[in-house]
Chains A and B, each alone.
Chain A
Amino acid sequence: MDDKRNNLMKKLSIYICVLLALFASLPAAAAPMEEQVVNIIVTSQKYDYSSPWQKGEITRANITGCVIDGNRIVTSAYAITDNVLIEVLKKGEPRKYSARLLIRDYHCGLAVLTVPDAEFFNGLKPVEFSEGARLFGETARVYKWDAMTNLKEYSAELNKSSIRFYEPGCGVLMHQFSTVMNEGGNGEPVFINGKLVGITTGLSSETKTLYALASDMIRRMLKDLSSGAYEGMPFFWINSVDIQNDVNLREYFGMGSGDSGVMATDVPSISSGGDVLKKNDIILSINGTPIDDNGMYDSGRYGKLYYYGLIHLDKFVGDEIRMKILRDKKKIDVQFKLKPIPDNCCVIPLISNDRQPRYYIFGGLVLQELTIGYLESFGPEWKKKGEKRMLYYYDTVKSMADEGADKKIVILNKVLPDPVNKGYQYYGNLVLKKVNGTAARDIAHLKKLVDDSQGRFVMFEFAGNSSIVLDKRSALTGEKELLKKYNISSPYNDSDE
């Protein structure tokens, strides 16, 4: 009996000690959340891809960000797309401060802001980043400014951490939480034990899943920034397939029983390693870390992660990547330097946010470059409802990458009805092939082809074999009137801004 009681006492005292220790280690030093989490009001105006000469609807959104050192604020890049004005508020105070964008990188999904009026940061403290132990099973807290005055706290359970692809060719480390939140996914910081583990970038209200970019991505970005000019994520843009356990495939490609990896199936030359890797190379390891047959590696803290993590999580442009690959049944070592994401790389730009559509209006024909933004103008189900040929180009953009960086797909969006284009007024959603017999590489080239054409007529040929001929002089004479009628300020935009 006594023994038992003694045991119980012993256990209790141990518990108390542990509890005390826990209290001691709790973020006593950490500042209250409202000193770390700020409210951001974003006014945005998207471009109107269907009428590319004008901007569309104006929206105002209330999002969240958190303070990092150097009087900066970090939030989700997707939450501030197409912004015209960014204002920040703190601690529920009514004063709005204008913020300035330092960096916005859609490839890693993050934006860093600063506030010119340094007074804003008085009384604010930078967040601490989470480090070290595994996060699984921990309860997270999400903070969101509601109605500008009320900092709400939600709890969330970490389901998994994985590499996801928000933008083509860019693997980002993303945490997925289950949550009770109905609104969010717009830059709210997520904390575990008072330390930042991520910044939210999306919320599925159907599955109640909150997506957050891991704080590792923020640290990576800050490190990149601190080295001077921001270079962004490295460009690794290949297609690959997991070998799985496919015994036939393994035997056919001569993989040993201990070998595992992923097979490269498409390697555009503009990708990092594009000059080194070949189709059907099996990547066995990257910088000494073995890749398993599901394409995963053991990351330690986050468990198994997809192999892109080895290239995108803590590597920078200019770093060297060593790979062991199996090619023609022989193991060889290859190495290459990581290249930056090219500004201009493929027939459909990787990202069209914040860029005015490049267009050219001639004789009422609205010609523009095909962008993701244009495809999205077919509606939320654009991958089903978009024009099939354009979707095909979207799907095969990688295999068209080697046609040259300045090659774009030029389309006829629509025809603005006018006497000069009588008979063509139902033409639209066509892919331009040639102008006066010459392939148009992009909008600027198209404009030049039309400007320089000497003959009386300008001939436009489209995929699907339809064609349009306009009388150049009539088109030019009527241009001013046409633009006025349709309230168009400029007949073209070929700038990259």
Chain B
Amino acid sequence: MTSTLWILTQGAAVSLFLAFVGAIGGTAFALLLNVAAFSKIGLLRGFYHTYIYFARGIPLLVQALLIFYALPAFGILIGPLTAGGLVLTLYIGAMFAEVFRGGVLAIPRTLWDSTRSLGLPPASVLRKVVVPLVLRYTLPSYINVCVLTIKASSVLSVISVWELTLAAREIVERTLDVFPVMIAASCFYFVMCFSIDRLGRHVEHRLALKGFSGERP
């Protein structure tokens, strides 16, 4: 059993790493997408909405399979882990993008009017008004998507990325010891997801006490 647990732990580490890459990459990608989403160029806005439609309408598994099989066909040869990271970035990036976009849209119109009437230059508007407010509005949803990232990493097992789910499956196929192994793997995921969720809530709570979100705590 201990060797099983050790293997599962290693798998969990890989899952965590993948989720981390997906979250960071996804956030960066989402910021880029938001530039397109709010661009004055209609074509860019159209591209944003089209991309979101595709990324959210196609199941993650199918996206993963597409990228996994399509890249070699175009001569791009990358290992499963890199492919997995790429898939996650594209998929989770779309989710973060919608979260951020929702945050920007949540800013009351009079605040936009106020920044305009004060004659604030665009850089200052972004830095002093938009970014702080969007951060405050979107923190809960952001944490939600982070948890989702960990769960999404399990799908990558199907394109032979070795992580916790694949590790568990391999052990089960070898030893037929289904329940203990699967339950153990579930525990690992549960601890990871639950911790991130709790941590997020804790951070939210602490920041609310300082008037972080501009609402009564």
Please indicate whether A and B come from the same complex rather than being unrelated chains.
no
B residues near A (Cβ < 8 Å) are none
